[in-house]
A and B are shown apart, each in its own frame.
Chain A
Amino acid sequence: MSRAEVDAILVQRAPRRTPRKSLIVVLPDNHVVSPDLITERLLAERDNEDNEDVDVILACAGQPLSLAALQRSVRDLQVLFAPAGTSNEDLRELAMKRAPGDIVSLLSGTRVQV
């Protein structure tokens, strides 16, 4: 094992100085979220001095309408697909299980006006 690998493991195992943050965006059927809103939330989440990255998890029921736009605007977006009809609450619970952050913010999309 190289010195760099040992250092990487030590860094991973060492206690963190600041909390890791995650942002969960929930999109049930017929819901959308603006990429600008996510960007705004990410900026707000990164307002500490360490300016660390925030893990963003999109949990959606079925195929969301605005996925391509979200993937373009949010780097390393993790997408969780649940069957269509999955409720907002179930999506939140599902995403929470995957969220690695110590502080997890949850954001729900808005219903599309038909």
Chain B
Amino acid sequence: MSQTLPLSVVVSIHDSAWTLNEVLAAIRASELRRDSYEIIVVDDASTDRSLAIAARYADTVVKLKGRRLGPAYARNRGVELARGQIIAFVDDDVVVRPDTLSRMLATLVERADVDAVSASHADSSGAPNFVSQYWNLLLRFGEQRHPGSGAQFAPGCGAVRREAFLSAGMYDEWRFATACLENVELGERLLSKGHEVLLSSEMKVTHLKQWDFGSVCQEIWFRCRLLARSLGYTRMRTAAPSEVVFTLSRTLTPAVALLGILMLAAAFVPSPHAGAKGGAAVLALLLTNFPMHRFYAGARGLGFAILSAPLHLFVQIVAAAALCTGWILREVLGDVSPDAATQAYSEVGLEIWPPVPRRL
């Protein structure tokens, strides 16, 4: 379609029926003229009622059938149809505020030096359970400590100039078949091409996804492993310091150093207790994580901070193990790549719909 619009909102969905109504209704309730933007929903092989719900709100619905190909792939298909000069990506569990999209649009219109802008997490998660609140605050802590420019093109809700997005090569659909770090990687590529990426601490969105202990550990495991294996820890730490992987791992090095000192000191104590050794290790981690626990206490009270400390400790251990696994996998197997069939189809240049994931 040739007619252009100021904004296209691309929402990639997969079995999102439980949140989609609220997500799309919030976009429609934005403080923008209805004829100034379009909503493109890309359905990534859902098996629930997501498609029917999408039809209630969207201007265009793209149906990707067969196996799930991931949000990076789905968003790219949405952008290919988009008429907007600015593309906003909203996750299928993110509720925008009435002014979020209009403020993003205004930022990109008024500031020629900024090419991409994204919103931060709201102070509380849409899901009321303890683990969801913990996870939301953990992400919020990183965003608050490192706002402004960086490669943090937030996964929940971000807007980018179409030209900048295309010139950076779009999302990496080849390596990111699951929702994991594809936004950070895109942000890093935008930065390396000279585009300015802004993480706003004033624009906030609410995440509805309900997390539990297992899903948080799984998320951390995938993020840390992929980051170490595929993106490069040091390079990404400089580019995207607010990423949760670094929030978790940044305190590990001083904790280990502190632990070493304590252990050395304990060596001079005749036959120290096993409890004392364990206590020293926990104390070292608590001390190095003090700014975060203080942030938790300020946001939710001392009780929440105390309760979250063991969870945080465990999550950090998972992060450390996943980072080590990622480094080993990188040395042994190299970078991640899609399955053999996808690689073969790509090699022969097979033209089908939906298209074979593209290499960058």
Contact = CB atoms under 8 A, between A and B. Distances in A.
A18 B55 CA distance: 22
B352 interface: yes
9 contacts: A16-B352, A16-B353, A17-B353, A18-B353, A19-B62, A93-B53, A101-B63, A103-B81, A106-B55
A103 B52 contact: no
Interface in B334-360: 351-354
Given A18-B353, A19-B353, A44 B59 contact: no
Interface string B51-77: 111111111111111000000000000
A96 B3 CA distance: 24
Contact of B2 (A15, A47, A92): A47
A44 B62 contact: no
A102 interface: yes
B1 interface: yes
Interface residues of A, number: 23
B1 to A, nearest CB: 4
A86 to B, nearest CB: 12
Nearest to B49: A93
A92 B352 contact: no
Interface of A: 15-20, 24, 44-45, 47, 89-90, 92-93, 95-97, 101-106
Nearest to A44: B1
Given A45-B1, A47-B1, A95-B55, A102 B60 contact: no
A97 B53 CA distance: 11
Nearest to A102: B63
B315 to A, nearest CB: 40
A44 B2 contact: yes
Given A15-B352, A16-B352, A105 B56 contact: no
B60 A106 contact: yes
A93 B55 contact: yes
Nearest to A19: B353
Contacts of B58: 106
Interface in B284-309: none
A58 B354 CA distance: 26
Nearest to A90: B56
For A20, A44, A45, A96, which residue has the most chain B Cβ atoms within 10 angstroms? A96
Contacts of B62: 19, 102-104
A20 to B, nearest CB: 8
A15 B260 CA distance: 61
